A and B are shown apart, each in its own frame.
Chain A
Amino acid sequence: MQKKILSRKSLGIPYMIFLALFVMAPLFVLIYYAFTNGQGEITIQNLTGFFSDPNTLGTLCYSFGIAAVTTAVCLLLAYPVAYVLATSHLKEKSVILLLFIMPMWINFSLRITALKELLTWLEGNLAYHPFLNTVIGMTYDFLPFMILPIYTTISKLDGALLEAARDLGAGELQAFLKVTLPLSLPGIISGVSMVFLPAMTNYVVLDMLYNSTYIMGSLIGSYFASYNWHGGSMIALILLGIVCLFTLLTRGDEEETARGGVLL
């Protein structure tokens, strides 16, 4: 018995080493830089500086805005598709699903380059609509991450619940609103977190689609380019904090909805 536990646990050692070297160690370096200044003294000035500079706060809002709009657009596009796909009786469902996932197999910068040409053809001059283009680019990039979890949750729904709702006199719409939608919330939430968080920092899309306003990712880059590792690390740390907060919040929600689902 003892031996078994030991051997099973030791299977995790390679990953622990990986974790320690590439996740924990850099994190400590990050924390060290975030709370020191150029002279190596411990300071919280980087933190207060972030929250007192209208530019960094504005960038945070701008990133938030881009991420929120992208997430909303993704959700509006993805949900109907996932719903129709999951509830249909098509035989080739998996093929259609594959079509949605396939773009992910093509290199990301290649896809955005193609999109750039397409948008230029449509709009003429990309420089007039930087925000719109960014949202389009990010939606294009992240849509599969929204479709997949929603599809999975809906296709796992217990059909008996829907039948019960109908038996008790609910119409199509009512059944959808009261049964399907609440029960697919976990899928929506995991989709949202998979789109929202990367959309806040993915500055490559902005760069490639000629949006000259910084988002969080590019702001960190600019701090490092001006040798200000301390300020850059602090922003990275704050971003990490936001991600953690977001994850905690949605996880709490997930449990809540799961319980709620059972109660329904």
Chain B
Amino acid sequence: MRGLRKNVIIRLLSGIVFSLLLTFLQPWAADLIKEPPALPGEVSAADRREEKEVTLRVCNWEEYIDLGDWDEEETIDLDSGDVIGENSMLEDFEKWYYDTYGIRVHVEYSTFGTNEDLYNMITLGDTYDLVCPSEYMIMKLLTEDRLMPLTEEFFDSSDKNNYYINGVSPYIRSVFENNEIDGKPWSDYAAGYMWGITGIVYNPELVSEEAASSWKILSDPAYHRQITIKDNVRDSYFAAIGAIKSELLTDEQFVHAPDYQKRLEEEMNDTSKETISRVQDYLQDVKDNAYSFESDSGKADMVTGKVAANYQWSGDGVYTMDQADEDGFTLEFAVPRESTNIYFDGWVLMKDGIREDPAKQHAAEAFINFNSRADNVIRNMYYIGYTSVISGGDDRRIFEYANWCYGAEDGDKDVTDYDLGYFFAEDGDETKDYVITAPSDQVYRQLFAQYPSEEAIARSALMVCFDEEQNQAINQMWINVRCCNIHDIPAWVWMIAAVLIMSSVILVWKNYSIHRSGMR
């Protein structure tokens, strides 16, 4: 009998071990079966062997790429041709890559919900080749040496298939070249995808533009329980700094100082002890004053009229205003006068995914390029509502798209010229070529959220990637704000709890003794 049991245990264990082995060795075994990667010069050699397939593991934000399947009537009819998303962008890419380079590629597409989720996923063992985090997460990954630099070929503007370098907005390019981390400019490692700023979406019938143009609205008792704020520590921190430093940030002298941009960024990224504790006090007020912290419901609540204003990323702001338009009422977008957080989501190549495999690297960079082609940019923008970093270069279709969306109709009388030269104009261009004549209210609405005015951009600040110590302090602050402190529990609650516990103990004990006496 003993021997038998041992036997069973051995069988069991070997079963477990075997299946564990199978699970862990699968990717490795698959690598073995595959052929060795081709060298860069051998792309044409790989051409002949059609069975070879590159697998590209892409991880992007949820709902952040066109998945196709548009209705016929959704066709965007631009002067330079129609744009419509029939198939998903991923299928189209696979087809385009094969037609252009003669190599089969298979995109394994996954999504993530927050930058922190992505970080945890890739740190706990998921491997991807190409991911699309926000700028601060790119900086974090870069300082941890987990990114592959983009190749020189990617920046070769003579190759017409390099849609990214030929199409990226000069404004974005300068941001990516001038911001450095560890002495390396972002552009060496990251290619932009979408960008935007933060602001307040508000209902003009309930909230004035004046009030919505300050972060202080979040704690304004006039809007008690009527405003939602983002449920994440970085966005809340930025807004709180904007509110507590409001006077300094809007001071004429500060705004017109020659080193305004640099000082603004320093102020908005201030993590001194004193500031953190002031932010905590402020956010505690906000918690008592706001409708709630929300991670996803803000857009819907704005449209259903549950709240009067909400803290929003500009891309989501566009979506919210579009939804409200469909329901027949007007929402507007304001960028606080103190400062606004400018953010970029960008494609980066992961070292542990690409593993110096040139075929993979090529496919990954081609994926970026394909998504930077003007018609695909328009498809993605239409589908997700955010603003692409691509302005199109010589291809005017993206500007035409902006004009198609927001330009005035022939009959409109109340129109305003809205200058987007800062974003679209290349060196040689006249900036007046990029002026949209829009209905005047668009200056406070979708057009403003989709392509913020140069003036709003001027007061934008990047939020840097905090180091571990700063992160710890800020996260502790956040927990202090969000948790119920045990010292704040009122005495009457303790008393009720004590009475309840006492009485239940007495009850149980009494029952128990009855049973005992019954036994006797």
A222 with B479: in contact, given A208-B297, A263-B519 (CB under 8 Å)? yes
B287→A212 contact, CB < 8 A:
yes
Chain A, residue nearest B296 (CB): A207
A213→B116 contact, CB < 8 A:
no
B225→A125 contact, CB < 8 A:
yes
A42 contacts chain B at the CB level, 8 A cutoff: no
A259→B515 contact, CB < 8 A:
yes
Min CB distance, B311 to chain A, in Å? Answer: 13
CB contact between A54 and one of B114, B290, B295, B485 (< 8 Å): that residue: B485
A55→B485 contact, CB < 8 A:
yes
A65→B488 contact, CB < 8 A:
no
Q: Return chain A residues, CB-CB under 8 Å to B19.
A: 17, 21
A20→B4 contact, CB < 8 A:
no
> In whole angstroms, what is the CA distance A67 to B100 when docked?
60
Q: Please tell me which stretch of B7-15, B209-217, B316-324 contacts chain A, meaning at least 4 of its Cβ atoms lie within 8 angstroms of it.
A: B7-15
A256 with B8: in contact, given A127-B292, A210-B291, A222-B475 (CB under 8 Å)? no
A239 contacts chain B at the CB level, 8 A cutoff: no
B119 contacts chain A at the CB level, 8 A cutoff: yes
Q: Is the interface of A mostly helix, strand, loop or mixed?
A: helix
Q: Return chain A residues, CB-CB under 8 Å to B512.
A: 256
Chain A, residue nearest B19 (CB): A17
> In whole angstroms, what is the CA distance A256 to B114 when docked?
49
Q: Tell me the total A-B contact number using a CB cutoff of 8 A.
A: 122
B116→A227 contact, CB < 8 A:
yes
Of residues 27 through 63 on chain A, the ones whose CB sits less than 8 Å from some CB of chain B are: 54-59, 61-62
> In whole angstroms, what is the CA distance A187 to B487 when docked?
37
B484→A61 contact, CB < 8 A:
yes
Chain B, residue nearest A229 (CB): B120
A16 with B489: in contact, given A21-B20, A61-B484, A212-B287 (CB under 8 Å)? no
Chain B, residue nearest A224 (CB): B120
Chain B, residue nearest A59 (CB): B483
> In whole angstroms, what is the CA distance A5 to B2 when docked?
13
Chain A, residue nearest B4 (CB): A2
B475→A228 contact, CB < 8 A:
yes
A55 with B483: in contact, given A17-B15, A61-B489, A228-B475 (CB under 8 Å)? yes
B479→A219 contact, CB < 8 A:
yes
A211 contacts chain B at the CB level, 8 A cutoff: yes
B503 contacts chain A at the CB level, 8 A cutoff: no
A128 contacts chain B at the CB level, 8 A cutoff: yes
A120→B488 contact, CB < 8 A:
no
| Interface size class of chain A, counting residues whose CB lies under 8 Å from the partner chain | 35 or more
> In whole angstroms, what is the CA distance A182 to B514 when docked?
12
Q: Return chain A residues, CB-CB under 8 Å to B519.
A: 263
Min CB distance, B138 to chain A, in Å? Answer: 16
- What are the interface flags for B488-520 relative to A under an 8 Å C-beta threshold, 1 for contact and 0 otherwise? 110001000100000000000001100100110
> In whole angstroms, what is the CA distance A120 to B493 when docked?
27
Q: Return chain A residues, CB-CB under 8 Å to B128.
A: none
B306→A120 contact, CB < 8 A:
yes
A212 with B293: in contact, given A59-B483, A61-B484 (CB under 8 Å)? yes
A5→B487 contact, CB < 8 A:
no
CB contact between B486 and one of A57, A224, A264 (< 8 Å): that residue: A57
> In whole angstroms, what is the CA distance A89 to B439 when docked?
71
Q: Return chain B residues, CB-CB under 8 Å to A130.
A: 292
Q: Return chain A residues, CB-CB under 8 Å to B20.
A: 21
Q: Return chain B residues, CB-CB under 8 Å to A126.
A: 291, 306
B480 contacts chain A at the CB level, 8 A cutoff: yes
Chain B, residue nearest A20 (CB): B16
B116→A226 contact, CB < 8 A:
yes
- What are the interface flags for B464-489 relative to A under an 8 Å C-beta threshold, 1 for contact and 0 otherwise? 00000001100100111011111111
Contact sample, A vs B, 30 pairs, CB 8 Å cutoff:
A16-B12, A17-B15, A55-B480, A55-B483, A56-B483, A57-B486, A58-B486, A58-B488, A58-B489, A61-B484, A125-B225, A125-B291, A127-B290, A130-B292, A207-B231, A210-B294, A211-B292, A214-B484, A218-B482, A219-B479, A222-B478, A225-B114, A225-B116, A227-B119, A227-B120, A228-B475, A229-B120, A256-B512, A260-B511, A260-B515
- Give the top 3 A-B pairs by smallest Cβ distance, nearest first: A210-B292, A58-B486, A55-B483
Binding site for B on A (CB under 8 A): 2, 5-6, 9-10, 13, 16-17, 20-21, 54-59, 61-62, 65, 120, 125-128, 130, 182, 207-208, 210-214, 218-219, 222, 224-229, 256, 259-260, 263-264
Binding site for A on B (CB under 8 A): 4, 7-8, 11-12, 15-16, 19-20, 23, 114, 116-117, 119-120, 225-226, 231-233, 287, 290-295, 297, 306, 471-472, 475, 478-480, 482-489, 493, 497, 511-512, 515, 518-519
Given contacts A21-B16, A210-B292, 9 further A-B contacts (CB under 8 A): A6-B8, A13-B11, A17-B15, A65-B497, A127-B225, A207-B295, A222-B479, A224-B120, A263-B518
